[in-house]
């Protein structure tokens, strides 16, 4: 017998530059219809679109570390969009903000995917 799940409740990202990451997600996540429900000194959390995304600072001893996609841990975060146009709008927004750590949308079956790393 399988255990039925209903999507992903949330993901929490541990970041080495908390203030920079918080400013990025503070601007981006509301564009996805997500609302900040907590914005404190050491935690930022948005809810919406049937999920939640949060960030928190890393251990101070690791503050010099940067994201490396092939290391142990998170490879990427991929969100489903409702249309190719939504993916295009997000890509344009990220380009406008000169954010380089993103990949364009890919169609998988009938789903449009947007990967943020």
What is the pLDDT tens value at each position of the chain, 117 positions in all?
888 888 889 999 999 999 999 998 999 899 999 999 999 999 999 999 889 999 999 999 999 988 887 888 887 787 878 888 888 888 788 777 766 544 555 554 444 455 554
- pTM higher than the cut 0.85: no
* Spatial distance between the Cα atoms of 18 and 102, rounded to a whole number of angstroms: 18
- H/E stretch holding 2: none
Q: Which two tokens stand for residue 39?
A: 């914005």
Q: How many CB atoms lie within 10 A of CB 88?
A: 15
* Spatial distance between the Cα atoms of 87 and 105, rounded to a whole number of angstroms: 6
């Amino acid at each position: 017998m399988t255990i039925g799940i209903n999507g992903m409740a949330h993901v929490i990202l541990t970041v080495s530059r908390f203030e920079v990451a918080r400013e990025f997600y503070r601007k981006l996540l509301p564009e996805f219809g997500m609302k900040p429900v907590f914005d404190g000194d050491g935690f930022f959390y948005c809810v919406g679109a049937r999920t939640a995304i949060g960030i928190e600072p890393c251990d101070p001893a690791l503050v010099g570390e940067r994201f490396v996609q092939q290391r142990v841990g998170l490879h990427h975060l991929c969100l489903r969009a409702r249309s190719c146009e939504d993916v295009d709008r997000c890509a344009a927004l990220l380009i406008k903000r000169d954010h380089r750590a993103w990949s364009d949308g890919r169609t998988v079956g009938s789903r449009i995917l947007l990967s943020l790393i």
